[in-house]
Amino acid sequence: MSEYIQNLNPTQRDAAVNYQGASLIIAGAGSGKTRVLTCRIAYMLSQGVQAHTVLALTFTNKAAKEMRERIATLVPGGMSRSLWMGTFHSVFARILRAESDKLGYPSSFTIYDSADAKNLVKLAIKELNLSDETYKPNVVAARISKAKNNLVTPQAYEANSSLQAEDREQRIPQFLDIYKLYARKCRENGAMDFDDLLLNTNILMRDFPEVLTKYQNQFRYILVDEYQDTNFAQYVIIRRLGELHGNVCVVGDDAQSIYSFRGAKIENILRFQQDFPGAKLFKLEQNYRSTQTIVNAANCVIEKNQRQIRKKSFSAADEGDPIRVIKAYTDKEESALLASDIYTTVRTRGVQYSDVAVLYRTNAQSRALEEALRSRNIPYKIYGGMSFYQRKEIKDMLAYVRLVVNPRDDEALRRIINTPARGIGDVTIGRIAGAAAANGLSMWEAVSRLDPATIGLAGAAGNKVAQFAKMIGELSEMRSTTEAYTLGLEIATRSGLIGTYKMQQTPESISALENIEELLNSIRVYTEEQERMAADTATEGESAPQALVQIDEWLQNVALLTDMDNENPEERNKVTLMTVHSAKGLEFEYVYVAGLEENLFPSMMSMGTPEGLEEERRLFYVALTRAKRAAVLSFAESRFKWGEMTFGRPSRFLSEIDPQYLDLQFELGDSRDSDEEANSAPRYGRPGGPSRYGRPGTGSSQDYGQGGYRKRAGAPDTGALRRTDTPSPGARFRSLSARGATQGSPATGSPASRFSAPGTGRPAARPSGPPAGYPPRPIGGATSASPHVTGATNGSDPPGASSSQGSGEMAVGTRVEHAKFGVGEIVAIEEWTSDVKLTVDFGAAGRKVLLKKFAKLQIL
């Protein structure tokens, strides 16, 4: 028997080796669930199971990539390469592209992210002449998302009177109209949003039995990690694909279900044994990750939840250090204390920075931490928040590519027709949209095919539009003959994006330029990888025709990537900063959890309901159990929020840990608000409330979907928050900002398993297109090689607002402090049109060129 199987404990081994039939592996954190899944796949391959018949779904692309790499080391040859492995979204996006003609989509359909979706909702609301006060785009988008996650199409929605009654009750009676229009627009644009990927997969499998059969036969073995966080749409996909052979293995931990805000249902894992009768149940009880202290402390916390499957969980590792709790007066002090502590830990414990993570509840908390780390020259990397792909310049650039690839993508056109400013305003855009609608064309088709005069685009505006159309047209024609990177560079230049950013010479524009270069670089890396893989497979067979890697292919891969999926070589040995949500499934030697305050963690938004609070508790459980050797918890008594100082008290979760596991140098105050006693002893299980998880023993739950929700007052909506950042070469992903969907509305009720057929929109444009390159490769690490950037040079002087505040005292050698980069020394000064360009050496943060006007430097 292979070594990797030998290394498993008996239960784990059982779970790995018995790969026929259905299996449910349910176990606490760190018990080796993911490892079992990995070994199981490797074992299957070693027993002769064909890799391409295995479908393994993970929670993130990164997890998939790591699992694939691990398997590659366990089995011979390139077998692991043919595994179908990825997130639900990326795997089914690939399948949808292959089958797109059946649903009337082009195979190169665009994938809209949440921001694109929100814009489209906004547009739909506007076109229906509804007020965006009543119909808040965020709320509407969240409700649409919820409907889709429950497989409720607009048609099904229309047939469902209780949903519509809910809308009326919430004073959004015309919600359905928006939903319909939104869906129509997506279809006309040849685009799917995240939720459509799952919804349309379901429609495909429901309406095309032969397609369903094909995939049922192809995927003889299905494995799902983190099953407790699947939503209804994902659940139905698994049930359908697995019902023929029942070789379905799911892995999860109900105590780690933390994504209910996007429709995840713990019930999915609880009813697995009913869905797949005879499923073998494996319970893993030993935690191999953490010290006894951490495991025991985490158990204390999770015990407080009423609704759960009770599980044993013990650690045979050392007792380990007690969990330290750090108190600070302000968020700034908290960050400073953590930064010093990290520094000391790394120094004295002989560990790497990369063994350390700081976790927090909200992205907004990262800022203070960043500043503290930076000023101490502690290297860090930050995930989530405003990721690379959400930055304006990147989204603009991607919109150009999207339009070139998919001429029906009106959303992309609207985004960039006047970016950079070319004198095409709202009025003109409105006329184009009108003409497009009147002729049943997309907006780009309208501007490129219709006579400008007939649609009222005479004069200056008409010329500008014609010029724009010509540019896109030419780029579009180059597509089939031009290699992806070259075309990307061409797009970046001819669109004028590079030129305008070059012209501006502000820190922001420099940063934007770097990001665009980085994006172009990722095209190159992707291209090279594809070519290498093509060459690999070609050596076995005959000479492969040197296929041109088109930009289409890259675009399709990029749409579902997040910053976590990029392994940048420069990002090694850095402290990790991320939200607790993003940390699920990861592990670190030392974990710091910051901001353990009432109303922050647990979040204010979630405390209204027992369910919400229990989810926060699970989230805290996840946070604690990321730590292998030690955890440190911190809170601040005051914190800036919306530019205002707010005061908080220590989180109730701190007092839920048995003090024997804590190293507490002070009295832990009461978490309760004086007038809030009732909240500290929430009553569970409302009268008639059907939703209660199976008690220990029964392991089942009757209900899912329906009921159990209470309306909450003041459902919040959210908006986007963005922070511009200054350039810092090498550090690809900058901070941040939070952005988010929200719930707000009560549940959409029954996840009707019958849902209606998609309406047919415009016929598919171009049913060509290769299946997306697979396995999906994340874009590679950026080297410092800067793509040569052509474009307008800054001959002309930018209209300079006058500058120079507090002139004088700066000279070469002056020590200054920057809000982000910390302390540095000026090494060069240069006149720059109306301002002064400073080169400052910030030590670890690097050497930066800053404009005095913007840099807000403090002279020390």
Ligand X SMILES: Nc1ncnc2c1ncn2[C@@H]1O[C@H](COP(=O)(O)OP(=O)(O)OP(=O)(O)O)[C@@H](O)[C@H]1O
Partner DNA sequence: CTTTCGTATTTTTTT
Partner DNA sequence: AATACGAAAG
Contact residues toward DNA (CB under 7 A) are 59-61, 87-90, 113-114, 138, 194, 258-259, 261-262, 361-364, 384-385, 418, 421-428, 461, 560, 562, 564, 578-579, 581-582, 603-606, 612, 640-643, 716-724, 737-743, 801
E strands, 273-425, in order: 280-284, 286-287, 314-315, 323-330, 356-360, 380-382
439 near ligand X, judged by CB under 6 A: no
Cα(775)–Cα(441) distance, integer angstroms: 35
* Closest CA relative to residue 834, chosen from 798, 783, 785: 798
80 near ligand X, judged by CB under 6 A: no
CA 366 to chain centroid, in Å, comes to 17
| Percent helix / strand / coil, the chain, rounded to 5 | 45, 15, 40
Judged by CB under 6 A, the stretch of 2-10, 268-276, 519-527, 777-785 that binds ligand X is 2-10
299 near ligand X, judged by CB under 6 A: no
**Which partner in ligand X, DNA, none is near 29 (CB below 5 to 8 A by kind)?**
ligand X
Tokens of 142: 């969240």
585 near ligand X, judged by CB under 6 A: yes
Of 127 and 717, CB closest to DNA: 717
Q: How far is the CB of 20 from ligand X (least distance, A)?
A: 22
Site string for ligand X, 210-249 (x = CB under 6 A): ----------------------------------------
Residue 370 CB neighbours (<10 A): 21
Contact 61/287 with Cβ under 8 angstroms? no
Of 206 and 734, CB closest to DNA: 734
Q: What DSSP designation does 788 have?
A: P
Query: Strand pairing of 627-641 and 644-647?
Result: antiparallel
**Which partner in ligand X, DNA, none is near 801 (CB below 5 to 8 A by kind)?**
DNA
* Closest CA relative to residue 401, chosen from 314, 526, 488, 307: 488
Tokens of 733: 């992903």
Q: How far is the CB of 139 from ligand X (least distance, A)?
A: 33
Q: How far is the CB of 16 from ligand X (least distance, A)?
A: 10
| 86-89-94-95 Cα dihedral, nearest 10 degrees | 110
394 near ligand X, judged by CB under 6 A: no
Judged by CB under 6 A, the stretch of 31-39, 435-443, 562-570, 844-852 that binds ligand X is 31-39
**Which partner in ligand X, DNA, none is near 467 (CB below 5 to 8 A by kind)?**
none
Tokens of 555: 């675009």
Contact 65/57 with Cβ under 8 angstroms? no
* Among 289, 431, 617, 818, interactor with ligand X by CB under 6 A: 289
Of 231 and 625, CB closest to DNA: 231
Q: How far is the CB of 634 from ligand X (least distance, A)?
A: 22
What is the rounded end-to-end Cα distance, in angstroms, of the chain? Answer: 67
**Which partner in DNA, ligand X, none is near 35 (CB below 5 to 8 A by kind)?**
ligand X
**Which partner in DNA, ligand X, none is near 384 (CB below 5 to 8 A by kind)?**
DNA
Cα(828)–Cα(837) distance, integer angstroms: 8
Q: What DSSP designation does 385 have?
A: S
SS3 call for 250: strand
Of 29 and 491, CB closest to ligand X: 29
Q: What angle do CA 389, 395, 396 make, to 5 degrees?
A: 155
Q: What DSSP designation does 769 have?
A: -
> Annotated catalytic sites, by residue?
33-34, 225-226, 256, 626
23 near ligand X, judged by CB under 6 A: no
* Closest CA relative to residue 809, chosen from 783, 785, 836: 836
* Among 16, 26, 33, 571, interactor with ligand X by CB under 6 A: 33
Cα(188)–Cα(195) distance, integer angstroms: 17
74 near ligand X, judged by CB under 6 A: no
30 near ligand X, judged by CB under 6 A: yes
Query: Strand pairing of 380-382 and 575-579?
Result: parallel
| 498-504-510-513 Cα dihedral, nearest 10 degrees | -10
Cα(531)–Cα(526) distance, integer angstroms: 9
Of 468 and 620, CB closest to ligand X: 620
Of 31 and 671, CB closest to ligand X: 31
Residue 30 annotated as binding site? yes
311 near ligand X, judged by CB under 6 A: no
Residue 28 annotated as binding site? yes
**Which partner in ligand X, DNA, none is near 31 (CB below 5 to 8 A by kind)?**
ligand X
Q: How far is the CB of 393 from DNA (least distance, A)?
A: 13
Q: How far is the CB of 293 from ligand X (least distance, A)?
A: 16
Q: How far is the CB of 461 from DNA (least distance, A)?
A: 5
Judged by CB under 6 A, the stretch of 4-12, 112-120, 345-353, 500-508 that binds ligand X is 4-12
Q: What does each C-alpha distance from 621 to 257, 359, 440, 594 come to in angstroms?
A: 10, 12, 54, 14
Q: How far is the CB of 34 from ligand X (least distance, A)?
A: 3
Tokens of 94: 């690939």
Residue 833 annotated as binding site? no
Contact 112/185 with Cβ under 8 angstroms? no
31 near ligand X, judged by CB under 6 A: yes
Name the residue with tokens 């088709």: 445
Of 30 and 769, CB closest to ligand X: 30
**Which partner in DNA, ligand X, none is near 12 (CB below 5 to 8 A by kind)?**
ligand X
Cα(169)–Cα(191) distance, integer angstroms: 32
**Which partner in ligand X, DNA, none is near 747 (CB below 5 to 8 A by kind)?**
none
* Among 34, 366, 728, 735, interactor with ligand X by CB under 6 A: 34
Residue 609 annotated as binding site? no
Interaction residues for ligand X, span 780-809 (CB under 6 A) = none
Name the residue with tokens 């647990």: 602
Of 721 and 764, CB closest to DNA: 721
**Which partner in ligand X, DNA, none is near 124 (CB below 5 to 8 A by kind)?**
none
SS3 call for 209: helix
Q: How far is the CB of 494 from ligand X (least distance, A)?
A: 47
Q: How far is the CB of 287 from ligand X (least distance, A)?
A: 7
Report the sign of the C-alpha dihedral through residues 441, 443, 445, 449, in that order: positive
Judged by CB under 6 A, the stretch of 26-34, 42-50, 133-141, 711-719 that binds ligand X is 26-34
Strand order of the β-sheet with 847-851 is 847-851, 835-841, 822-832, 815-818, 858-859
498 near ligand X, judged by CB under 6 A: no
* Closest CA relative to residue 382, chosen from 234, 241, 575: 575
Residue 454 annotated as binding site? no
Q: What DSSP designation does 54 have?
A: E
Of 640 and 709, CB closest to DNA: 640
Judged by CB under 6 A, the stretch of 32-40, 203-211, 612-620, 645-653 that binds ligand X is 32-40
29 near ligand X, judged by CB under 6 A: yes
9 near ligand X, judged by CB under 6 A: yes
Residue 841 CB neighbours (<10 A): 14
* Closest CA relative to residue 749, chosen from 134, 152, 135: 152
Give the list of residues 6+ apart from residue 734 with CB closer than 8 angstroms, or none.
382, 386, 391, 511, 725, 728
Of 287 and 634, CB closest to ligand X: 287
Q: How far is the CB of 25 from ligand X (least distance, A)?
A: 9
**Which partner in DNA, ligand X, none is near 97 (CB below 5 to 8 A by kind)?**
none
- Helix-helix angle 209-218:194-207, to 10 degrees: 100
Tokens of 453: 């005069």
E strands, 649-749, in order: 662-664
* Among 35, 97, 431, 617, interactor with ligand X by CB under 6 A: 35
Contact 715/172 with Cβ under 8 angstroms? no
- Name the site residues for ligand X (rule: CB under 6 A): 7-9, 12, 27, 29-35, 253, 256, 288-289, 585, 587, 625
Q: Which residues are annotated as a binding site?
A: 27-34
Q: Which residues are annotated as a binding site for ATP?
A: 27-34
